[in-house]
Amino acid sequence: TMTGAVFTNLTRDHLDYHGTMAAYGEAKAKLFKREELHFSVLNFDDPFGRQLYEQLAGQCDRVRYSLHEAQTELWLRDFAPGGDGFRAQVDGQWGPFELQVPLLGSFNASNVLAAVATVLTLGVPRERVIEAASRLVPPPGRLEKFSSHDGRHVVVDYAHTPDALANALAALRPHATGRLICVFGCGGDRDPGKRPEMAREAEAAADVVIVTDDNPRTEDPAAIVRDVVAGFTEPARHQVIHDRADAIRQAIALAGPQDLVLIAGKGHEAYQEINGQKVPFSDAEQVRHRLNLNGGVA
């Protein structure tokens, strides 16, 4: 049986399946209304998380976590980003303690709080939780960082929605002392409304933007890119390079040692879907090759 459930966020995704945000929210809420649930861990920084908190009163134990709200069950007192991760001072019903986490980005602080709140609620000793947090590694393609011997830094991330792209760029900004360079595209045969929004988020948060092909599927890549480019307000700040391998190569060539390159949209995927065919392609392998790290493709 299921003991607990964790709510992290509700953002624009899967609308091709659910139709509306309200329907998507309803689908997520069903998980938290199951009778066997003993507790729910809720992101109190998300409006839908606050809504769930009210809805679940009297149904199960409710554990809130927050990056901003003191007096929740687990909250972030201080956040300090570093080159290879962050330090977090947290407080709440388990008392004050410090976490050293080898992950990038404040949104990962939110994810870590969700996990920490869950295992502490399950009764795992605090010392074991602190130790485990210090050994976390990102899943492949989720703010996965690659660094070359000559000091260039590239991050591969699955961000393929406007919200996720904004979060990834915001997460990386404190870790970049120079420019933030962003490479992204949009998938074909999926929610076209997000395409200009992706451009707006990239333009607002990155210094240099390269638009490329993602998984065009059965759509014309040029038509997808036209939809994306319509969202830019400053045409001079972006360029279009359809060939994804070439876009990655050029972005890395632009980067100096203080800069950070984000390759967004495909993350862990080992293929590109073009004209109904799955063609072998890995952002991570392309990056390893361009940075002369072992394991890259030629």
Q: Which pLDDT does position 103 carry in this prediction?
A: 93
CA distance 168 to 272: 22
Q: Which pLDDT does position 2 carry in this prediction?
A: 82
Mean pLDDT of the chain: 93
Indicate whether 295 pLDDT > 80: no
The token pair at 234 is: 């400053």
Q: Which pLDDT does position 294 carry in this prediction?
A: 66
Q: Indicate where the chain has its CATH 3.90.190.20 domain(s).
A: 144-290
Q: Indicate where the chain has its CATH 3.40.1190.10 domain(s).
A: 4-133
pLDDT in tens, 102-135: 999 888 999 999 999 999 999 999 999 999 999 9
The token pair at 296 is: 């890259």
Percentage of residues in the chain with pLDDT exceeding 70?
Answer: 95
Q: Which pLDDT does position 296 carry in this prediction?
A: 58
Q: Which pLDDT does position 14 carry in this prediction?
A: 55
CATH of domain 4-133: 3.40.1190.10
CA distance 211 to 233: 14
Structure pTM? Answer: 0.75
SS (H, E, C) the chain: CCCEEEECCCCCCCHHHHCCHHHHHHHHHHHHCCCCCCEEEEECCCHHHHHHHHHCCCCCEEEEEECCCCCCCEEEEEEEEECCEEEEEEEECCCCEEEEECCCCHHHHHHHHHHHHHHHHCCCCHHHHHHHHCCCCCCCCCCEEEECCCCCEEEEECCCCHHHHHHHHHHHHHHCCCCEEEEECCCCCCCCCHHHHHHHHHHHHCCEEEECCCCCECCCHHHHHHHHHCCCCCHHHEEECCCHHHHHHHHHHHCCCCCEEEEECCCCCCEEEECCEEEECCHHHHHHHHCCCCCCCC
Which residue has tokens 């809420």? 29
Q: Which pLDDT does position 16 carry in this prediction?
A: 61
pLDDT in tens, 1-40: 789 999 998 875 655 665 677 787 888 888 898 999 999 9
Q: Are 60 and 37 in contact (CB under 8 A)?
A: yes
| C-alpha count within 13 angstroms, C-beta hemisphere, residue 268 | 4
pLDDT in tens, 147-168: 998 889 999 999 999 999 999 9
Indicate whether 72 pLDDT > 90: yes
pLDDT in tens, 228-244: 999 999 988 899 999 99
Topology of domain 144-290, per CATH? Answer: Protein-Tyrosine Phosphatase; Chain A (3.90.190)
CA distance 191 to 5: 28
Phi and psi at 26, nearest 5°, equal -60, -40
Q: Which pLDDT does position 206 carry in this prediction?
A: 98
